[in-house]
Amino acid sequence: MKLRLTDLAVKKLPLSKAGQVTYWDESTPNFGIRCSTRSKSFVALVGERRTRKTLGRYPSLSLADARKQAKRFLAMEAPEASTEIDHDYHVLVEEYLRECRSRLRDSTLQGYVLFLSKVKLSGPISRINRGRVLRAIERYTTSPASQNYAFTTLKVFFNWAVRRQYLASNPLEALKKPNKAKSRERVLDEKEVRTLLRYTMANRDRFHDIVTLLLMTGQRRGEIAELQWSEIDEDHLVLSEDRTKNKRSHTVPLGKQAKSLFHSIVGGERYVFGTPLQDVPFSGWSRAQRRLIKETGFDHFTLHDLRRTFATNHARIGTPIHVTEKLLNHVSGTISGVAAVYNRHNYMDEMRSATDAYDEYLANLLQA
């Protein structure tokens, strides 16, 4: 594991209860400290095969002296690789991915392939500097989440190139992700909504039907993925309090397109998306999501972003905010606190009108 090694951090590191644990320094590549059941020893990875070399035991050898020793030793190992051959970026990416295929899960590998191909870089790797990488990330990705994923993927790749001595240093080493993690910000635009619906409706399977219904109804992922036939009452979804996040029962109107999708599903006796006599929850969310993003060519988005997109599109067609909140089954919102106590109107007629208008909006969008 990685750790920022300081004198205090090294002192506080516990001895291993069994075997050995190595902590690699975040600031000095290929340098770390190995904790066994009896002692702590500074180590470095050297040579083409990245052989582990013991530098000395702590505290007989101080952190500062060990780091200096490691840097001197590694500097003696590296020059030939970075000066004799200026390796091509694309050739190294292919070598890196071949190695990844032998040790990584397919789901992780797909993410690496996606962003290493999406962010366009070329030429000798030694000439790819920090500015070029950051400009490429900004140019070829649009959402903050995608930029962060691309940044992390490239940083890991450049670390690999340094370990293999194809590169003297990682151009992204001292940098953090370009965007602070922000929640609740991605909204799919109309073109993306149209593309996504066309794709999921043309390539029907359990996951794609769930995605379609999330866009059409605005409900939460778990509420749609675990739908039962008993919860579909002609023109409405009727969710009991034990099926909603806020523990409040919820009835929401269905549009024509959502009803049509349900009518086309050959379901079981009880579950819409499961097998007839047993509850089989959907699994493989991350893998299915990555495949969907890859096949549609979208920047990264989450399924919860579809709920936000639903609310945004209702604002676009003029649905009053309090009606949208009723559709979403929001507890906190324009009708909350004392207002919620005294206002017992269920807004069902207003929700029906908004649902019909939204259904028409989606139909026009699909025909555009």
Residues 24/9, Cβ–Cβ less than 8 Å: no
Percent of the chain whose predicted confidence (pLDDT) is above 90: 43
Sheet holding 40-46, edge to edge: 2-3, 21-25, 31-35, 40-46, 51-58
Percent of the chain whose predicted confidence (pLDDT) is above 70: 86
Closest-CA residue to 15 (of 27, 23, 24, 6)? 23
Complete domains list, the chain, with CATH: 2-77 (3.30.160.390), 89-163 (1.10.150), 190-367 (1.10.443.10)
The per-residue pLDDT for 339 is: 45
Please compute the mean of the pLDDT values over residues 220-241 and round it to a whole number.
Answer: 88
Closest-CA residue to 73 (of 51, 44, 95)? 44
pLDDT digits (tens, 9 = 90+) for 150-191: 899 999 999 999 988 888 889 998 888 877 655 457 899 999
pLDDT digits (tens, 9 = 90+) for 308-342: 999 999 999 999 999 999 999 987 555 544 444 44
* Lowest mean pLDDT across 194-208, 245-259, 281-295, 353-367: 281-295
